[in-house]
Structure 1
Amino acid sequence: MEGNRDEAEKCINIASKAIEAGDKEKALKFLNKAEKLYPTGRAKALLDALTKNGSSAGNGAYCRRPAGGSESTGVQPDRDSHDSGGGESTKGFTKEQVEGVQRIKRCKDYYEVLGITKEAHDDELKKAYRKLALKFHPDKNHAPGATDAFKKIGNSYAVLSNPEKRRQYDLTGGEEPASPGHAHGAGFDFHRGFEADITPEDVFNMFFGGGFPSSSPHTFTNGRARYSQQTENRQDRAEERGDGGFSMFIQLMPIVVLILVSILSQLMVSTPPYSLYSRPSTGQTIRRQTENLQVDYYVTRDFKSEYKGSALQKIEKNVEDDYVSNIRNNCWKERQTKTDLLYAAKVYRDDRMRKKAELMTMDNCRELDRLNDLFRGG
């Protein structure tokens, strides 16, 4: 019986892809087969949704309201948020949402996903992510594949907002792998060597200062959503059935190479003569202050004998430049975070976000103002 359950799960996955592609006939065939092999609430819910909608989502048709609906908005009214098998939501979706998901799935690189150019600066990157994240968040978009589209958007932003990852990504080009497992624009798993350090859900929470402001049953809990766990579990099972150990090794090779290159580069780069923070590992524990701005920095015990006169003045100028640059960047981040919180609070009328933005201390911006006063006074 357990063997039938696995086969039924495969049939359901094939049917789900058929729904996304707009092939209703194929979806019905495999859902009926799944019900015969191992009846589940998930297959039954998908069958009911297909029957009541009257047309496949993949062909761009709107989901229809039942005859007793009070409004004709083109969106199906909410039913049970989860079927008895713990499967996907049966909520309605619009033609525009389906077309948007399909556009994201067809994208072959992160810049195309976010709709920006390679020359786009941080403000454009943030603006593009904000717009797409709100549009494709699973609490608002229930079209087939919206979960994967949301993940793809979050992963694209997480990589491109990291200067080092973005530089490495630009060097490799943007073509999607042509392996069988990723054919036909199979979406989220492309560029395995450039996956983000944090999940798309965490990116969203950090960007908007907390969970999605919604009463939907899909609301994030501890930075992750049930829909994400269910989708990832299904993907993990499919990979375990379809991929061998050698295939997994090949997939991990780019990551291993990047780690080795990073370690070797760190060993080959000489330690700078100063640090803005105490670093016992390099012996830079002796605190000094620059003569001009009184900026604290840390050096080794031999620093005083090695750097004197003009050499010392040059070091202290570099220290102050680094310090001012860090303060300026941190102040910019503080202002962006406050702006994002106020924007989200306005859109969703969330007093909690508004108060959080108003209570931000903006320490780096205050320090930048102090330094500007010193420059003007000098």
Structure 2
Amino acid sequence: MEGNRDEAEKCIHIATKAIEAGDKEKALRFLNKAEKLYPTDRAKGLLDALTKNGSSASNGAYRRRAAESSDHTGARTEGEGRESGGGDSAKTFTKEQVDGVQRIKRCKDYYEVLGVNKEVSDEDLKKAYRKLALKFHPDKNHAPGATDAFKKIGNAYAVLSNPDKRRQYDVMGSEEPSSPGHSHRGGFDFHRGFEADITPEDLFNMFFGGGFPSSSPHTFNNGRTSYSHEADYRQERTDDRGDGGFSMFIQLMPIVVLILVSILSQMMVSPPPYSLYSRPSTGQTVKRQTENLHVDYYVTRDFKSEYKGSALQQIEKNVEDDYVSNVRNNCWKERQTKTDLLYAAKVYRDDRMRKKAEQMTMDNCRELDRLNNLFRGG
């Protein structure tokens, strides 16, 4: 079952995090569950590795305790320009980084966090987030409080980039705490319930193509429970509920309803007479090409007898419109990805990211240029 496969992948992901943290018992528990849900070579390999080499997990536990200790030590030594790193090396930071964190802490609303006004456009909002996210990412900024600042920056962008949440925030958002007993934690508790629907790290990865140069796993604490701990907690709550038949039925109910709706929709609505890709399920396997832009498309065997003259011309116009739209959207994504990689490579002087950007083939953009030349020639 595909549902079990997804759950097994989640269990393997949690087990991998547990291995990195040195929690061998938790890793074994989730790997065993993954094997029961959907056996894979990956889960089996990790189980074998843990069973044969248990000492590495205990060493990881020591590293985890040392890292936790360094977080508390770093918080007590703010302003000294050095933060204990739980090892022989120390993480240093500059006065400029400390001042930047303090500025974020003093901000009274999300607009001030990103350094923009309320009339800011979506594009300028992206630029502001991109610049600050790179500056305050905990892998590059080790100043005390940088993690909280990074979280606040991500939260601010996630709220303001959502039209509905931004509209509500403009009306209701303020620097007041969400409840009288709440701690302000350095001026960061002014959201009044306006929290992001995505973690800061996931948001960062969406902008920069996944992962940060020389990145290491981080936990972004919001003053109560860390994101990674929340995910593990929800997974463990699911384990505790058990795999009873009724519980499984309730979980599968939305999928069953979705399948039924899909089947009914297919029965009531006839499929389009063409497809940009070969689709054996609908019988659209006969390849044709538009007369104008020479775009390939696929139809059924009866297509030629059913569509002639003006009807055929309209079909081919629709095919070309769909194709050009797809190519244009994919080209935009390619350019955006390349721009983000080059920007990050320039800021952090990362040759690996620069080479990755320069080696992008930009196939859709080249195809768009070809189409534009055909339009001009026509």
TM-score calculated relative to the size of structure 1 = 0.55
- Distance in 2 between the 1:151 and 1:145 partners? 10
Give the equivalent residue in structure 2 for 1:59.
none
- Distance in 2 between the 1:316 and 1:170 partners? 41
Indicate conservation of the 8 Å contact 1:114/1:153, yes or no: no
Q: CA RMSD in A?
A: 5.3
Classify the secondary structure of the residue corresponding to 2:277: coil
Alignment of 1:94-113 (within 5 A): 94-101=98-105, 103=107, 107=110
The amino acid across from 2:121 in the alignment is A
Classify the secondary structure of the residue corresponding to 1:288: strand
The amino acid across from 1:337 in the alignment is T
Q: Pick one of 227, 236, 240 that aligns with 1:232.
A: 227
Give the equivalent residue in structure 1 for 2:370.
370
The amino acid across from 2:219 in the alignment is Y
The CA deviation string for residues 264-322 of structure 1, in whole angstroms up to 9 with x for no partner, is 98665844333222334444333221111111122344444443322221121121112
Is there any run of 5+ residues in structure 2 with no aligned partner, and where? 1-64, 242-251
- Distance in 1 between the 2:179 and 2:257 partners? 26
- Distance in 1 between the 2:191 and 2:258 partners? 26
Give the equivalent residue in structure 2 for 1:328.
328
Is there any run of 5+ residues in structure 1 with no aligned partner, and where? 1-39, 54-62, 66-75, 214-218, 247-255
Give the equivalent residue in structure 2 for 1:26.
none
Give the equivalent residue in structure 1 for 2:51.
none
Give the equivalent residue in structure 2 for 1:308.
308
* Residues paired across the two proteins, number: 285
Query: How far did residue 187 of structure 1 move?
Result: 8.2
Give the equivalent residue in structure 2 for 1:272.
272
Q: Structure 1 residues 95, 369: closer, same or farther in 2, change over 3 A?
A: closer
Indicate conservation of the 8 Å contact 2:136/2:150, yes or no: yes
Give the equivalent residue in structure 2 for 1:195.
197
- Distance in 2 between the 1:171 and 1:96 partners? 25
Aligned: 1:220 with 2:222? no
Q: Structure 1 residues 171, 96: closer, same or farther in 2, change over 3 A?
A: closer
- Distance in 1 between the 2:308 and 2:298 partners? 16
The CA deviation string for residues 44-84 of structure 1, in whole angstroms up to 9 with x for no partner, is 75665565x4xxxxxxxxx333xxxxxxxxxx22x321389
- Distance in 2 between the 1:135 and 1:306 partners? 61
Give the equivalent residue in structure 2 for 1:294.
294
Give the equivalent residue in structure 1 for 2:137.
137
The CA deviation string for residues 355-374 of structure 1, in whole angstroms up to 9 with x for no partner, is 22222212112111211221
Q: Pick one of 28, 44, 64 that aligns with 2:79.
A: 64
Indicate conservation of the 8 Å contact 2:75/2:145, yes or no: no
Aligned: 1:340 with 2:340? yes
Give the equivalent residue in structure 2 for 1:120.
121
Q: Structure 1 residues 91, 350: closer, same or farther in 2, change over 3 A?
A: closer
Q: Structure 1 residues 202, 195: closer, same or farther in 2, change over 3 A?
A: closer
Q: Structure 1 residues 208, 371: closer, same or farther in 2, change over 3 A?
A: same
The CA deviation string for residues 248-278 of structure 1, in whole angstroms up to 9 with x for no partner, is xxxxxxxx99999987986658443332223
Query: How far did residue 119 of structure 1 move?
Result: 7.9
Q: Structure 1 residues 261, 272: closer, same or farther in 2, change over 3 A?
A: farther
Give the equivalent residue in structure 1 for 2:360.
360
Alignment of 1:7-86 (within 5 A): 53=77, 63-65=78-80, 76-77=81-82, 79-82=83-86
- Distance in 1 between the 2:284 and 2:124 partners? 39
Give the equivalent residue in structure 1 for 2:351.
351
Q: Structure 1 residues 304, 180: closer, same or farther in 2, change over 3 A?
A: farther
Q: Structure 1 residues 46, 321: closer, same or farther in 2, change over 3 A?
A: closer
Indicate conservation of the 8 Å contact 2:279/2:285, yes or no: yes
Query: How far did residue 352 of structure 1 move?
Result: 2.0
